[in-house]
Amino acid sequence: MGKNPITIEDVLKNLKVKRTAQREALIRSAYEFAEAAHRGQKRKSGEDYIQHALHTALNIVKMGMGSKTTSAGLLHDVPEDTAVSLEEIEKKFGHEIAFMVDGVTKLGKIKLRGTKEEMYLENLRKMFLAMASDIRVVLIKLADRLHNMETLSALPEDKRKRIALETLEVYAPIANRLGIGEMKGNLEDLAFKHLDRKNYDYVRRVQEEQYEQRKKYLDKAVEELKKELTKEDIKVIDVFGRSKHLYRLFQKLKRHDMDINKIYDLVGIRIIVPDISDCYETLGVVHKKYRPLVGRIKDYISLPKPNGYQSIHTTVFGPEGKILEIQIRTKKMDDEAEFGIAAHWIYSEQQKTLRNLIFGKKNTRIPQDELSWVKQLREWQNELGKDNVEFMEGLKIEFFKNHIFAFTPMGDVIDLPEDATPIDFAYKVHSEIGNRAIGAKADGKMVSLDYKIRNGQVIEIIISRERKNPSRDWLRFVRTSLAKSQIKKSLKKDSFV
């Protein structure tokens, strides 16, 4: 069966951007248009088709998106599943909304079949091309996919498995790369349920049992921390307990021989404070109250994750000496951890409103430059042309694997995939530095050019003015597509001289 029926009022009351008469009128108009187009259509779950459009729109507004993206979400299945054409949508709602609807329709035609390797290639290329042209198209697709996963039980088993695998292999990693943590966790859990029901039920049972056991000291820790922070005059927006998503817990259990006692962050506490300075003050208060576990403090505020995630994580010996993870972040960081790139629309709009009040400037469209890798992606795809195999290899390494940060001697941060080498680092800094590299230092010590850089290291590249071209041997060990393409370009150019 489908989820509980919702109305357009449920969508509107969840808007995170300012609810103006103009925005409301646009969303209502899109709803009325979609409702008329889908009238009489039913989903496999038995619910009216318009419910899918409404749930998609609700997921979109919960991410913090505005009226145009929400309207496109309401209309996203109209050209594909009704007699109404895209041209009619463009005539009524304009080019921008029609462009998004068309983008979602094209993505909807991607069906991942065949072997696991074949599943990716051209399909993922299309997904990422859509992301590079307008990130909102992919956000609508993620919102659409989340509701489809929530109603997946209505489909035959073979179709359920295919859609669940597609969700786990493609959609969840993209949500993660866009920094939408809550969406990623929900998609993974829903896919896990259909792909491995036995382990899903086992992990859910373990989590529920453990949560009940740990809830008593979790509640005690929340109260004690609230009291300590009030005593130190630190303003707190919220302090609450949280438990891990099931699929992530399963992955951790597998790494620890399925021993739940080795999982320290099954339950934890999140502390939300107003400003960055409050985060560090709060960390001091937490460590004064509870002894920290050595080596378990992670500062993702000064060194964010590549998808933009920011927070301080610390593991402490809490009440009764029980080990507990505590996350400390601002409200903005918390929104960005949950909604990722979508959260930028909320905060960009707030800043835009402030600028408009001060300078009287007209509204402008929100820039997409918050994620520089989206731009890199566009350039990278242009360079690779239609080589699907090379695209796939690069995609696996650069977008779906863990990333590290390294520093130049001047303190600039360079974002690299795991196992990247000094040559990858050099080409990220500048193509000429890559071409002329003859040696490297990591934290002041000489290392080989195929050395695997560790997170947080300072890398210095030694260059030769005489050297003008890279070595063909470097292609054997470099990890990034940028380094590979620059090396090939230089070697090709040299062969024509």
Q: Which of 32, 80, 118, 275 is catalytic?
A: 80
| Per-block mean pLDDT, blocks of 10 residues, the chain (497 long) | 80 90 96 95 89 95 90 94 93 93 77 50 59 78 93 89 86 81 92 94 87 82 93 92 85 80 76 95 95 89 81 91 90 83 56 42 40 54 55 58 77 81 93 92 93 88 87 91 87 63
DSSP E strands, 397-487? 403-407, 413-417, 437-442, 445-447, 459-463
Q: What per-residue confidence (pLDDT) applies to 357?
A: 38
Could you tell me the pTM of the whole model? 0.71
DSSP E strands, 136-266? 238-243
Q: What per-residue confidence (pLDDT) applies to 455?
A: 78
Is 81 annotated as catalytic?
A: yes
Mind listing the domains of the chain with CATH numbers?
Answer: 8-195 (1.10.3210.10), 204-338 (3.30.460.10), 372-496 (3.10.20.30)
Q: What per-residue confidence (pLDDT) applies to 242?
A: 81
Q: Which of 10, 35, 81, 228 is catalytic?
A: 81
Is 32 annotated as catalytic?
A: no
Residues 267/241, Cβ–Cβ less than 8 Å? yes
For 39-115, where are the alpha helices, taking DSSP H only?
50-62, 67-75, 78-81, 86-93, 95-108
Name the token pair of 225: 């921390």
Q: What per-residue confidence (pLDDT) applies to 185?
A: 92
Q: What per-residue confidence (pLDDT) applies to 497?
A: 38
Residues 363/354, Cβ–Cβ less than 8 Å? no
Find all residues with CB under 8 Å of 431, minimum gap 6, and list them. 486, 490
- Kindly give the interhelix angle for 481-496 and 422-429, rounded to the nearest 10 degrees: 80
